[in-house]
Every structure is written in C-alpha cells, then in structure tokens.
Structure 1
C-alpha cells in the first residue's frame, strides 16, 4: 500500500472544486496502488466532496487535526477526536474578544459565531451546516474542537503570539492568511495522522504528504516525500523535499504526474528523506527565497 495524504485549499485546488484533470490523475494513481487521505482545516461537510472527488477511501483528518472522521452516510463516524475544555476555551475567547476578528467556535458539524456575523453564517449555511449566532460573551457552554479567529493577517499573528504566551494547554497555528486556529493541546494534522496510523496499524511502503501552510508542517514531517508549492511560506518549503507550482497553476496535477512516472522512488529509499529536507527539488522554477545549500 502506498499512501497519499493531502490538504485541500491551496494544495489540491485553489477553488471550490477539484479540476477534472486532477480527478482523472488520482484515478490513475489508484490503479497503481495509491490510496488517498484528506487532511484539512475544513469541517467534514465541507471536506467530503473533495474526498469523494479523488477517491479517498480512508478516514479524513478534519478540523485541522482535532477530528478523524469516516464517511458514515448522513453523518460522519468519529474515528478519533480531541476537544478544548470549555473553561480554557473561554480564556481563549477573552484574549481575542476585543479584536476586530471574526470568531468561530466549532462543535459537532456546527459553528457558533457572534450575532450579526453574516460572513460566517452565510458561508456555513450555503453548505447546510448549522450556525448558532449567539456568541454574545467570551464563554461557551460546550467543549469545542477548535476556535478560529479570522481577519487581518497581522492582527491574527499578533493575537496568536499573545495566546501562545498567555495560555497553556492549547495549540496555536496559522491555517491560512488571516486564519488563526486554536486547537486542543498536542493536536495537529501530523499528530492526528500518527494516531490514525497507530490505531489502524498501517504500515505503508511509501507516504506522500502535500500541504501549503504552517498548519501542514507537522504532517509533512511524517512523509517519505513531503511536497509543497512555490507560494507556501518559507518555513513550509524548508520542511519539503519537493516544491511545485502553486495550485492555481495545477501544481497538484504535476505531483500526480511525478508519481505516475515513478520519479519519486528515490525518496522512498531508507535514509534519503531527511537528507533532502531544506534543499527541495523544485519543478517548474526555483523559488528565489530558498537557497539550495547542501
């Protein structure tokens, strides 16, 4: 078994659908023995169409690693999950309450936001996810899987540093430009992947992981072949073996073709993986910020 774990936004696609060329490429890879797994910050309702499009038959890592869910028909089946205790979640909310950022607290396939937050309400209602716009004070009556602050990128970074310095027992990461994600202690996409592999007793002959942002780094470090894209932050590129054109230029399709041509085999040789991190092979052009020092 060969395992391909991929992020969605900025990786698999830069839009709201998987390009047909990518769908076909994933189908061909499945005939070559590859199995697909999604690892995303999205909730299950939003991630499911993408998992189905690429034929991912393994549980999906969603909520940025706070949940591992298996398709169960009308409602997903929980494989593993982690939550933030409500008292600690309230402290997180207090630290960001006076900011200008939108706030989203995630329950079981439902989202709580502030009254009047039409951005959050509109987005989730379009995908038939229940929204509770009743967050009128910095406290919750449930243990959330995660809390997101969304808005100005500089404010997101500053708030993230403040939460990290002021509060123990949570993980702080940037899940995208202006997306500050607060997760249960010890949770990440990589941690969820490790937990899944252990409980499922999976021993793939090869692991490929693809992602484009800071919340993907821990997952990339689990892979024999770690892949990112030219528009990824420098920290992410330093964790990669391979840098491809961005999703907007069909970089994921290039990755599928790279695997089809079996050019990835050298990466699966014992002892080669760590040697190549930090000086990634770049297809379609060398990003100027990366110095290829060996």
Structure 2
C-alpha cells in the first residue's frame, strides 16, 4: 500500500500497533521510504499508529520524534504503556520483592547474567561484553553494575531479563518454564535472552489497555510483528500480519503472513493487513 491509497484501508480499524525491531526497522535500524509512505497512508486515513517494543521508553524517544508519533507507546514487552516524550502513562506493571527473589534464584541456578529493567535504565551483576552488545543497537543506556542485586528486591522493576546467547537460549527457556510454570510471562525479543514479566503482562494485554484508554476495543486494533514477544499481540488484535521471516509459531498466531514475491518489510505487511490477501495464520494448517 502506498501513502496515497487511504481509500483501501479497513474502515473498522482505528489503531495500528507495529512491532519495532525486525518489523518497522530495517536491519541497520533505519526506516525505509516504503515504510514511511505506508505509515503516512495509515495515518492519513485517521488510524493512529503506535509502536510495541521490548525497549525502555528512552530507547524509542528519537524514533517517536522522527515519526511524529504522539501519545503513549507500548514499551518493555507491554509492562509499560507510556509516552516517551512526556511520561503520560496508561498502564504499568512491576515485579514485587518475592517475584524478584524467585527470578534472581532462577538466574543463579542456570548461571547466567541477569538484568533488572526499569523505565530509566538497567541494573546487572555481570557486564560482560556479550551483555554490552545487547544494548549497542538500541540507543539504550548501558546497565549499571551492581554487586548485590538482591539488595534491589523491593525496587519494583518492570521486567527481568536473563542473557543467554543464542547457544544457550533454548536450554535456559526450558529451565525457566520448568521452574516457573505459568506464574510469569516468559518471552524474548531476540532469542538471545529470556525476559520475565508478571503473569498476563504482554504486548497483547498492553494493546487492549491502550485501546480502552482511547475509547476503542480490540476489534478496532490491527497489528504487525515478527518476534516471539509479538505472539500475544498478533493473537489479540482483530486483524494481524506476521513477517515472512518470523518463526513458525509467530506466523501461526497471525491472521496473515507477508507472502512471497513482495519485500518482507512493514510496508508489505501494512498492505496485506488492509488489502486482506493470503489468508492463513490463526487456526490454519498450512
């Protein structure tokens, strides 16, 4: 869909929630002219655009300003729905002291670096180079090194992340699921870390909270995404599109998938979302 095809847009949708890394952004962190044009067409049709990301608010501030996105955005995998420009907050969820204790014990058990994540930054007990490398592409501040994270048990982080690297990701994920069961949301934005939030907190829940704040329902929400942390968002939205490069379980959560023969980018996903081509995803067997 080009920026001039506002007439093709689905009249029922009033909010478009877009994953950031791997969806709106190119591999180098830029936004293509195609995607800018597609977003312009959506906004010209009176549909609000927001981003949904695992980043903290500060990590998307420059992008929000660049795209002139006003109001609250979905950050920290849905644990915080807030406006990076002025702090206006719609929804916030934090981890209590006993939850922090349990998650720090999990990190110690699997012997991997752990990060406590707050709206303004991060605290960690291990600032090895691989941990530093997690932050370089995302315009986020490097974590503060803290010798005893247990001393911060009552500091109410929004989420806790455990760095795994790609090689240990699946084993760490399996260990977290065995130990924690369904008491937490366990997700990942890059399959190099597992991220732990209060139970029931995810991008899908956050999209619902934002929609209600806007006077809308999820029946008026469209979504595009590509990551494990987008599954609940794609499932919750009235209409959703997964990127072609997304993992199979992510594609299965969506109504549609960016088809072969077109660029695997946000502009194509928006075109598919509003033109309704190639119906498979939720409940499909293909």
TM-score normalized by the length of structure 1: 0.79
1:121 deviation in Å?
Answer: 5.0
Match of 1:131 among 128, 138, 143: 143
1:181 deviation in Å?
Answer: 0.7
Match of 1:34 among 44, 47, 66: 47
Match of 1:277 among 266, 272, 282: 282
Residues matched between the structures, number:
269
Label 1:56 to 1:85 Cα distance change in 2 as closer, same or farther (>3 A): same
Alignment root-mean-square deviation, CA: 3.1
Partner of 1:244: 258
Label 1:116 to 1:207 Cα distance change in 2 as closer, same or farther (>3 A): closer
Are 2:98 and 1:93 equivalent residues in the alignment?
Answer: no
CA distance in 2, matches of 1:212, 1:118: 27
CA distance in 2, matches of 1:249, 1:115: 39
Are 2:167 and 1:162 equivalent residues in the alignment?
Answer: no
1:80 deviation in Å?
Answer: 1.2
Label 1:154 to 1:203 Cα distance change in 2 as closer, same or farther (>3 A): same
CA distance in 1, matches of 2:195, 2:140: 22
1:98 deviation in Å?
Answer: 5.1
Match of 1:202 among 216, 227, 245: 216
SS at match of 2:81: strand
Q: Is the 8 A contact 1:93 1:139 kept in 2?
A: no
Match of 1:17 among 27, 30, 44: 30
Q: Is the 8 A contact 1:190 1:220 kept in 2?
A: yes
Please, which runs of 5 or more residues in structure 2 have no aligned partner? 1-12
1:258 deviation in Å?
Answer: 4.3
CA distance in 2, matches of 1:101, 1:16: 28
Q: Is the 8 A contact 1:112 1:132 kept in 2?
A: yes
TM-score normalized by the length of structure 2: 0.81
Q: Which stretch of structure 1 is more off in the superposition, 213-222 or 126-135? A: 126-135
CA distance in 1, matches of 2:109, 2:115: 14
